[in-house]
Copies of this chain bind each other. A is one copy, B any other.
Amino acid sequence: MPLRVAAVSVFNPQALACRDCSVRQFALLGAVDEAALVHIHHRIDSVIVQPGETLFRAGDTGHDLITLRSGVVRLERSSEQGERRILRLAGRTDLLGLEAVLGQTYASDAVACTVVEACRLPRAMVDELCAGHPVLTRDLMKRWQRALDDADEWLTELSTGTARHRMLRLWLKLSEYSDARDGGLVWLPSRHDMGAMLNMTFETASRLISALRKEGVVTLVDSRHARLDMDRLLAALKEDT
């Protein structure tokens, strides 16, 4: 269950929280002026989600869109037989559950990989705002296109080539989602998750990680964080053709 943060005090209402939001200029509501924010802030729900918890589930009616303020989320699908496949990751400033705008059900599960700070934007609100703000409609389209580009990139970059090559490119991707706040550390997925992202068994993932540690490309900091040596990573990617 997603947790709601403690109610904000009258001295620090959500309106201020929205206005001063660290990701607003990059997020959906960046297109909306401050005046309009006053009318909508109370409909926005700020949430914190723990690793492993679900933001939404495939097939559920999409009641709201989600803006990520921090953390990493994975979008995944599992087949009837229990086969799980991670489609792609999402991070800071990304908008999830676009299909909700169309009144459709969510197309995949969205699960927190790290602690995630997010905002739930009711579908109806986004709809109303779109009517008054054509920029917002356009922004939504751009986000759809970005999601599509992302999907295509995961297909070409993380689903082709040898296991080692895919693993190296995964680390390149993971580095994009690293949060400056934890000193350049990168989220270290479980071997199982790596397998689900790269279409390999967790044993193979484990072996490859061991190799990369020996080569000094990655250093495990704790069970869910690693440090990357970008120079060595890029060198390894290069000589792998």
A154 near B156 (CB under 8 angstroms)? no
- Tell me whether A77 and B152 are in contact (CB under 8 A): yes
Decide yes or no: A155 and B87 within 8 Å by CB, A81-B241, A141-B141, A160-B199 being known contacts: yes
Q: Please tell me if A159 contacts chain B, counting CB pairs below 8 Å.
A: yes
Tell me the minimal C-beta distance from A157 to chain B in angstroms: 9
Contacts of A104 in B (CB 8 A): 145
Q: A138-B102, A151-B152, A241-B81 are in contact. Are A199 and B159 (CB under 8 A)?
A: yes
Which of A145, A152, A159 has most chain B Cβ within 10 Å? A152
Kindly state the separation between the CA atoms of A38 and B140 in the bound complex, as whole angstroms.
30
Cross-chain contact B138 with A85 (CB below 8 angstroms): no
Q: Which chain B residues border A102 with CB–CB below 8 Å?
A: 138, 141-142, 145
A23 close to B (CB within 8 Å): no
In the complex, how many angstroms separate the beta carbon of A231 from the nearest chain B beta carbon?
Answer: 21
Residues of A within 8 A of B (CB): 77, 79, 81, 83, 85, 87, 98-99, 101-102, 104, 107-108, 137-138, 140-142, 144-145, 147-149, 151-152, 154-156, 159-160, 199, 241
